[in-house]
Chains A and B, each alone.
Chain A
Amino acid sequence: MARFGENLPKALAPIAVTAGLLALWQGAALVARSSYLPPMTEILPITVSLVGSGEIFPDLLSSLARLAAGFGIGLVAGIPIGLISGRNRAVEEFIMPLLGAFYPVPKAALMPIVMLWFGAGDLSKVLIIILTVSLPLIYHAQQGARAVDEKLIWSAQAMGCSSLRRLLIVILPASLPEILIGARVAIVIGVIVTITSEMIVRQSGLGNYLFTALDMGQYAMTYAVILIIAVLGFLLDWLFEIMRRRLTLWAPDRQGIEIAVTS
C-alpha cells in the first residue's frame, strides 16, 4: 500500500509541520493586517534578538531555576513515596486518596493562598511546583513498583537482600521505565505551572516578562516571548524523552499507548 510521502524520513515531519504552521501564521497575519497579529517576519527577528542579546536571560534563568528546584525536590521526595506505596498496601491506601483529592485542584491557583504564608517570593512558587510535579511522579513510581515481577523480588530475597536494599537495587531500577514516563509528564506540567504562577504573581520569570510586554502594548514582543516559552517547553520535553530512551535501553519494548496528559 503505497502511502503519500512514505519516503519522508520521520524526523523531517515535525520540522515540516512547524514550518507549515509558521507559514500559516504569516499568511493569516498578512491577510488580517492587524497590529494585534503581527506577521512572523516581524516576530522572528525579535525572538532571535531577545535570545541573542541575552535580554531575556535573567527571566529565563529565574524560571528555570525555580523549575529545577521544584522538580528536583519533587523527584527526590516523590519517587520513594511512590515506590513504597507500590509495594506496601497500607502506604498506598494512605497516599492514593490524597493524590486523588489534589489532582483536580488547579495548583497554580494556590499561589495567592500559599503567598499568605510564605510571601510573594520564590519559596511560594517552588512549593507549588513541588506539589504539582509530585503527583505524576508519585503515581508513576507507584505503578512501576506495583508491576515489578514477583519473581525478581524472590530472587533477590533468596540472595539475602534486605527490604531496604531491595527497594534501592531491585524495585527502583525495575520501575525506572515507568518513573521516566512520569518524569516526562512532570516536566511538561512543571513548565506550565511555573509560567502560570509567574503570570498570576508577577515578580520575575518568563510569565511575568510575557505579561509585561502585553501590558506595554509591545505586541510583536509578546508573540516573540510566547514563541520562546513554547520552544522551551518543547525542548525540555524532547530532552526528557531522549533521556528516558537512553536510560532504559535495556527495557523490553513497551506495548500500549502513551496519551499526552498535558495542558
Chain B
Amino acid sequence: MIAVLRRSYSIVLLLIAWEAAARLGYAPPGLLPAPSAVLVATFEDATNAHFLADFSVTMFRLFLGLAIAISLGVTFGVIAAQSRLGPLLLEPLVRVLSPLPKIVFFPAFLLLFGFGSFSRVVLVVIDAIFPALLAAYYGARAVDEKLIWSARAAGMSQTACIFRIALPAALPTILTGIRIAIVIACVVVFLSEMVAPEDGLGNVMIRAARSFETVQMFVPLVVISLVGFLLDQAVMRVRNAIVHW
C-alpha cells in the first residue's frame, strides 16, 4: 500500500492541494467543490435508487458493448491472421475505418435505432472492436509459424490450430488490446449519454449541469473514470500473470 502511494505521490499532492484550496476559500464550491465533498456525494449516490438505476443502465451498455466488441473482434482478428484472404480484406478496411472519428456516426444510429440503449451499444461496439481486432490480428500473426506447422503436420485441423495454438500464444497481446478497448468503451458510453441525454451516468452529469449542482456533476465523471481504471488494472494484472509462463 505504501509502495502504491509512493509511486503516485503527485496525485496525492494534487488532491491535497485541491482540498486545501477549497477549504481555504480559494475555490468557490459552486465552481470547484472539494474532493471530500465529491467523495461524500458519491457515497450518498451509491445508496440512491435513481442514481443506481442510471449507473446500471450505463454498466449494462458498457458490458454488453464490450462483450460483443471483444468476442467479435478477437474472433475475426485471429481468423483473419490465420487465413490467406484475411490480410487482404482486413488491412485496407482497417486503414480506411480506423482513423474515422466513430462518434460522428452516432447521430445516424440515433436516427436509425432511436434514443435508447441500442444506439449506444452499437457505438460502443464500433469503437471498441478495433483495438480488440487489431490486437488479436497482430498477436496471432506474430505467433511463430513453426508452431503452427508442427501442429498441422501432426494432423491438427485449421480450426483447432486457431483456437488451440494461435489464440493462447496471442493472448498477452490480445489482453493489451482489450485494455484499450475497455477504456475506449467507458469513454464512449459516457459521452453518448451526454451528447444525447436520456438516461445513464452521462445524463446524470448533464442534468446536474443544467441545475447548477456542481458537486453532482463530478460524481458520474469520477464513477465512470474509476470503472475504466479498475477494469484496465484488472486486465493488466491478468495479462502479467499469464505472461509468466
Contacts and interface: CB of A to CB of B under 8 A. Distances in A.
Direct contact of A and B (CB under 8 A): yes
Interface of A: 1, 3-5, 13-14, 16-18, 21, 34, 36-37, 93-95, 97-98, 100-101, 103-106, 108-110, 112-113, 116-117, 188, 191-192, 195-196, 199-200, 210-211, 214, 219, 222-223, 226, 229-230, 233-234, 236-238, 257, 259-263
Contacts of A238: 99
Contacts of A17: 92-93, 95-96
8 contacts: A103-B183, A106-B190, A195-B101, A230-B104, A238-B99, A259-B131, A260-B131, A263-B187
A43 to B, nearest CB: 11
Interface residues of B, number: 66
Contacts of B85: 3-4
B8 A260 contact: no
B98 interface: yes
B98 A196 contact: no
B88 A4 contact: yes
Nearest to B107: A214
Nearest to A229: B104
Given A188-B99, A214-B107, A230-B104, A259 B138 contact: yes
Contacts of B65: none
Given A93-B7, A223-B108, A229 B101 contact: yes
Contacts of A200: 191, 194-195
Interface in B168-202: 173, 176-177, 180, 183-184, 186-188, 190-191, 194-195, 202
B134 interface: yes
B100 interface: yes
A229 B111 CA distance: 18
Given A109-B202, A259-B131, A260-B134, A97 B11 contact: yes
B96 A104 contact: no
Contact of A98 (B14, B98, B100, B104): B14
Given A104-B229, A112-B209, A262-B98, A226 B183 contact: no
B101 A260 contact: no
Interface of B: 7-11, 14, 30-32, 84-85, 88, 91-96, 98-105, 107-108, 110-112, 127-128, 130-131, 134-135, 138, 142, 173, 176-177, 180, 183-184, 186-188, 190-191, 194-195, 202, 205-206, 209, 214, 217-218, 221, 224-226, 228-229, 232
A193 B92 CA distance: 25
Given A108-B191, A260-B134, 14 more contacts: A4-B84, A13-B88, A14-B92, A14-B96, A17-B93, A104-B225, A104-B226, A112-B206, A116-B31, A116-B214, A214-B110, A233-B101, A237-B98, A260-B98
A114 B186 CA distance: 20
